[in-house]
Structure 1
Amino acid sequence: MTGWDRIAAWSRRNLPTRESMERIRLLRPVAHRVLAPELWRFTRRSVPRGVALGMIAGILFPVAQIAIAALIAFPFRANVPVAALVTFVTNPLTTPFILFAAYRIGAWLLHSHATAVAQPVAEAATSWLQWAWDAGPALIVGLLVIAGASAALGYGAAMLGWRAWIGRKWRHRHQHREDHR
């Protein structure tokens, strides 16, 4: 079993199914929209869209990432389970690095000369809040840049991964036919 097969198997076991979502009573008023079959199919167009939207939701929104990813997946006809799964790119281990990189990128783009990131930790809470207020624009710009770049890279990687996966399936099918002749 290859790495891609393991990822696909793990995803099938852990992602919510359309049938499990049908049983949720709170979704009944919007079930016709949420449970639309095209949002749950794994196609060459819907999967990369789901990856890109999941990256954006995961990086830009600190709370309710999965719900936001699912909501923005509807108008773009993206795969809802993939969008929800990709939001886990941000987690307690990766978030500090993403925030630090976002601040540095934003400060560089805005030519901001705010105080160092480590300095407010040693100071009182009021100065920390002042630092957050001063660093806010740089952080927001950096997060937007990282989200956009991650979405584009994720979309491209998903497209290439999809092509490689389908090509591998065709090669195996062709080899299987050749072996039986």
Structure 2
Amino acid sequence: MVTQTLCSLRRWLRALEPKARAHLGRGWLAQFQPWLEQRALFRFQRQPLARGVAAGMFCGLIPGPLQIPGTLLVCAWLRGNVVAGGVATFYTNPLTTVPLYALAFCLGALVMPGLQTLPDWSGLAPGGDFSVQALGAWMQALGMPLLAGLPILGLLMAVLGYATVQLLWLAPALQRKRRWERSR
């Protein structure tokens, strides 16, 4: 069942490639098509997809509106799929930002000298209520450990994303190989 789902996902992704190429051939994007094609930015194959997901996972920790432009630049540099990179940035959202930043703070505290403690939310928010101002004050209080931990967490997320795409892409082939070896 899982193998069939993964195979159909791969077929669906491969079917997207001609559609993306057709859109690139029209309008003002046509002049950039050779450069885009050389960079594999719209190839739905294993390596460009894995590199795109890794770029998106890394750039997903960049604040707000800079995530997608950062992902586009990193995908162009790494020759990764921009669609996969853009979609991968959505793991950060209003529900996951605070836990991810707390994890980044803990990672940064591990590599920074001295004792680093996570700031208490209730000390920054009046009455312990959530507000945008309280979130901003809490993030400012995280300081240097957060700045040190964000790139570390970004690299960890990128490696996990890259490895996951590689494993999911190769899972049907590995399963076929195991079945073939058992039948021999």
Q: Which moved more, 1:142-151 or 1:6-15?
A: 6-15
Distance 1:126 1:43 in 2: 43
Distance 2:12 2:94 in 1: 21
What do the CA deviations read for 1:124-168 (whole angstroms, capped 9, x no partner)? x99987765452211112211211111111111111111113445
Which residue of 1 is the match for residue 54 of structure 2?
52
Shift in Å, 1:90: 1.0
Matched, 1:17 2:24: no
Counterparts in 2 of 1:1-181, with a 5 A limit? 2=2, 3-4=5-6, 17-23=20-26, 25=28, 27=29, 30-36=32-38, 38-110=40-112, 111-113=115-117, 115-122=119-126, 132-167=139-174
What do the CA deviations read for 1:2-28 (whole angstroms, capped 9, x no partner)? 543575588689998233355464x56
Give the direction of change, closer, same or farther, for the CA distance of 1:89–1:8 in structure 2 (3 Å limit): farther
Distance 2:65 2:133 in 1: 25
In structure 2, list runs of 5 or more residues that go unmatched. Answer: none
Q: State the one-letter code of the partner of 1:18.
A: R
What do the CA deviations read for 1:96-138 (whole angstroms, capped 9, x no partner)? 2212222233234323246324421128x99987765452211
Shift in Å, 1:76: 1.1
Shift in Å, 1:38: 2.5
Aligned residue pairs: how many? 173
Which secondary structure does the structure 2 equivalent of 1:59 belong to? coil
In structure 1, list runs of 5 or more residues that go unmatched. Answer: 175-181
What's the TM-score, normalizing by structure 2? 0.70
Which secondary structure does the structure 2 equivalent of 1:93 belong to? coil
Q: Which moved more, 1:29-38 or 1:45-54?
A: 29-38
Sequence identity of aligned pairs in percent?
27
What's the TM-score, normalizing by structure 1? 0.71
Distance 1:128 1:88 in 2: 20
